[in-house]
Structure 1
Amino acid sequence: MMKLATIVALGAGLCAPAITSPRAADGGNFNGTWSVELVTESGLCDSRYSYAVAVQEGQVRLVSSGGAARMSGRVGPDGTVGLSVSNGTASGAISGRLQARSGGGTWKVSALCSGRWTARRHSSQVAQAE
């Protein structure tokens, strides 16, 4: 089986309410670490992959990939995710939508394999000034 899900892991895209703050306008409301699980529905890839992904001000990057995967793309202010991923000669796309704590969508690696992904935001406690 091929280890190409890394390519798709961040092809991550997800849905959120309208936001008016400058930070939220650039995707900042999705900041944090997300656990992403990809499930292959067709093709030659392994059946399931799990990754950690970081979102910072709308930019997405792999935290754990277990390989030489590269990813580029953004989370939009409305939670829409659009990513391009590559690993060696294979390339793929991830799309979907994020909400406040979860999200999901689809992924495809060339003609090799495709499937669905889900994401869960890691909880973190934030200190608030009073």
Structure 2
Amino acid sequence: MFVLSAITLFAAPAIAHTDHDGIWNVTVVTRTGSCQPTSSYPLVVTDGQVSGAADPSGSVGRNGVVRASLKGAFASGQLSGNADSGRWNSASAGMPCNGRWMATRQ
């Protein structure tokens, strides 16, 4: 579902060549609501900006703080090294959902 792409997930100011740049495999897990139970997506962080096939909006700060959004879903969390996780929530299409996301760098 598009929610994980939201974990494409990140909305802080762009920073050139961060330690978190690269390709990340993100898995989104729904804890509550009727959204898709689990989804996985590749996302790219370039100069701190998040991009991907689902056209997410967001950033990863120099300190690894993640803020992202995609079609009504919002994600936040922390990247550290080559893996980490965070939370997401969505009220898109009248379906309130929330859960966790996990990311690992390729």
Taking structure 1 as the reference length, what is the TM-score of the superposition?
Answer: 0.69
Partner of 2:41 in structure 1?
51
> Against the structure 1 CA distance between its residues 6 and 101, is the aligned structure 2 distance closer, same or farther, given a 3 Å change threshold?
closer
The answer to whether the Cα contact below 8 Å between 1:27 and 1:76 also exists between their aligned partners in 2 is no
Q: CA RMSD in A?
A: 2.0
Partners of 1:5 and 1:100 lie apart in 2 by: 23
Aligned residue pairs total: 100
Gapped regions of structure 1 (runs ≥ 5): 14-24, 123-130
**Runs of 4+ off more than 6 Å:** none
The answer to whether the Cα contact below 8 Å between 1:12 and 1:94 also exists between their aligned partners in 2 is yes
Gapped regions of structure 2 (runs ≥ 5): none
1:82 aligns with 2:80: no
Identical columns (%)? 32
The answer to whether the Cα contact below 8 Å between 2:79 and 2:85 also exists between their aligned partners in 1 is yes
The answer to whether the Cα contact below 8 Å between 1:12 and 1:117 also exists between their aligned partners in 2 is no
The answer to whether the Cα contact below 8 Å between 1:8 and 1:109 also exists between their aligned partners in 2 is no
Taking structure 2 as the reference length, what is the TM-score of the superposition?
Answer: 0.83
Partners of 1:28 and 1:113 lie apart in 2 by: 31
Look up the SS of the partner of 1:5 in the other structure.
helix
Kindly provide the amino acid, as one letter, of the partner of residue 5 in structure 1: V
1:96 aligns with 2:67: no
Partners of 1:81 and 1:12 lie apart in 2 by: 5
1:115 aligns with 2:99: yes
1:36 aligns with 2:26: yes
